[in-house]
Amino acid sequence: MDTQSIKQRFGIIGNSPGLNQALSVAVLVAPTDLSTLITGESGVGKEVFSQIIHQLSPRKHNPFIAVNCGAIPEGTIDSELFGHEKGSFTGAHEGRKGYFETVNGGTIFLDEIGELPLGTQARLLRVLESQEFIRVGSSKVQKTDVRVIAATNVNLLERVHMGRFREDLYYRLNTVPITVTPLRERKDDIPVLFRKFCIDFAEKYKRTPIQLDEAAKNLLINYSWPGNVRELKNMAEQVSVLSREKLVTANELHAFIPNAPESNLPMLMAGSNHGGDFSERELLYKVLFDMRSDINDLKKVVYGLMPSDQREQGVMANAVTAVYPEVKSHSDKPIVIDATHTKPIEVEESLSLMDKEKEMIQRALKKHRQKRKDAARDLGISERTLYRKIKEYKIAE
């Protein structure tokens, strides 16, 4: 089956080289039982590729289930995947089958695989290697015949190096990799996708489909789309419902695009660091060092502008604070002038990672009015990780 037929069957729109390559790999791997790892930013449509693989495989008449690993609490995920015996933990009033038991013969799609706890990763590795699992609270080994397709929007190799993901599991999952390109790299597909969504919503709400003028199309194409296809679809629905005119101009569309003036600025995206990925720690360190660099540069400028007698009196710190009051909030350490009066000795500012991480989380929650999902996306972490951090730092909401 060629890629065009696949697109028509599964409602996929676009003709970018990256999209066509990902579809070709999915078609080739579908008839096999090889484990597949689908990578791509949030909102690019990774689950669609898992359904393509399942529907084109010999397992297509058997069950398919999609599991969001980041949405299941750490304490219950083993039970969800592998089942449990009666009395195995508080609240286990009866035995329960897990997904690997109920989907026997079919396909399991594990989204956000990078959020799996290490203990669950070990259990999953055993299933992949020997097709065996054990229910929580049991000692009986059970067999299963399930194909595993995993997906992630983070760099798993980065997590392997950080000790947060098993290296053996990574290579076992990554037998066949599929990379789904972000929407900003499929610029020619954006107007076509937007038009399709608008037609669908017009039919749903019994309205005349809206259209965009050329300036509006250019605005749409040049936006960075951090939420990818999901964000584009949401915007198409908003414009379809709220626009008063059927021909939407750039000025009208501008109101629906968040942070439009900054839309062409470089963005730190999950999955982009010299072609790789920023971890939470790397992002925090970058913010800290940039902040310290800015403060130190300001100190040097103020120091150079001050008369020599004021330098001798040791009023450098007061001058910096007067020009830039925020300096004090970043560091309580003083600025000391050496005996030769030739240069300031800059006492190292505090680089407490925990303090800065807590501060960033508080700022993100305040910015998004305590909406955890939006705050987590802004911070570049999962909602479950944000919840854990809130509990860890005892952040009041």
CA distances to 25, 156, 218, 386 from 40, in Å: 15, 12, 25, 21
Question: Measuring CA to CA, which residue among 139, 114, 143 is closest to residue 129?
Answer: 143
pLDDT of residue 323: 44
The amino acid occupying position 333 is K
Question: Measuring CA to CA, which residue among 276, 284, 283, 287 is closest to residue 158?
Answer: 276
DSSP assignments along 119-156, one per residue: HHHHHHHHHHHHSEEE-BT---EEE---EEEEEESS-H
Q: What is the average pLDDT across 165-171?
A: 96
pLDDT of residue 296: 61
Taking phi over 0 as left and psi of -120 to 50 as alpha, with beta for the rest, 93 belongs to alpha
pLDDT at 342 over 50: no
Per-residue pLDDT tens digits for 27-77: 999 999 999 999 999 999 999 999 999 999 999 999 999 999 999 998 899
pLDDT at 249 over 60: yes
pLDDT of residue 307: 54
The amino acid occupying position 45 is G
The amino acid occupying position 329 is S
The amino acid occupying position 157 is L
Using an 8 Å Cβ cutoff, are 344 and 337 in contact?
Answer: yes
CA distance 44 to 18: 12
For the chain, the domains span 3-181, 194-262, 281-346, 353-393
What mean pLDDT is reported for the chain? 82
pLDDT of residue 61: 96
Fold (CATH) for 353-393: Arc Repressor Mutant, subunit A (1.10.10)
Q: Is the pTM of this model over 0.75?
A: no
Instruction: For residue 282, give every residue at least 6 positions away whose Cβ sits within 8 Å of its Cβ, in sequence order, or none.
Output: 273
* 194-262 CATH: 1.10.8.60
Using a pLDDT cut of 70, give the percent of the chain over it.
76
Per-residue pLDDT tens digits for 269-278: 444 444 444 4
CA distance 397 to 151: 31
- pLDDT bracket for residue 292 (50, 70, 90): low
DSSP assignments along 283-351, one per residue: HHHHHHHHHHHHHHHHHHHHHHHS-HHHHHTT-HHHHHHHH-THHHHH--PPEEE-TTSSSEEEPPPP-
pLDDT of residue 273: 44
Q: Which range (73-77, 144-148, 214-218, 298-302) has the least confidence?
A: 298-302
The neighbouring-strand residues paired with 143 are 132
pLDDT at 326 over 80: no
HSE of 82, CA atoms in CB hemisphere, 13 A: 28
pLDDT at 306 over 80: no
Question: Measuring CA to CA, which residue among 87, 90, 69 is closest to residue 78?
Answer: 69
Per-residue pLDDT tens digits for 98-155: 999 999 999 999 999 999 999 999 999 999 999 999 999 999 999 999 999 999 999 9
The CATH superfamily holding the domain 3-181 is P-loop containing nucleotide triphosphate hydrolases (3.40.50.300)
CA distance 66 to 106: 11
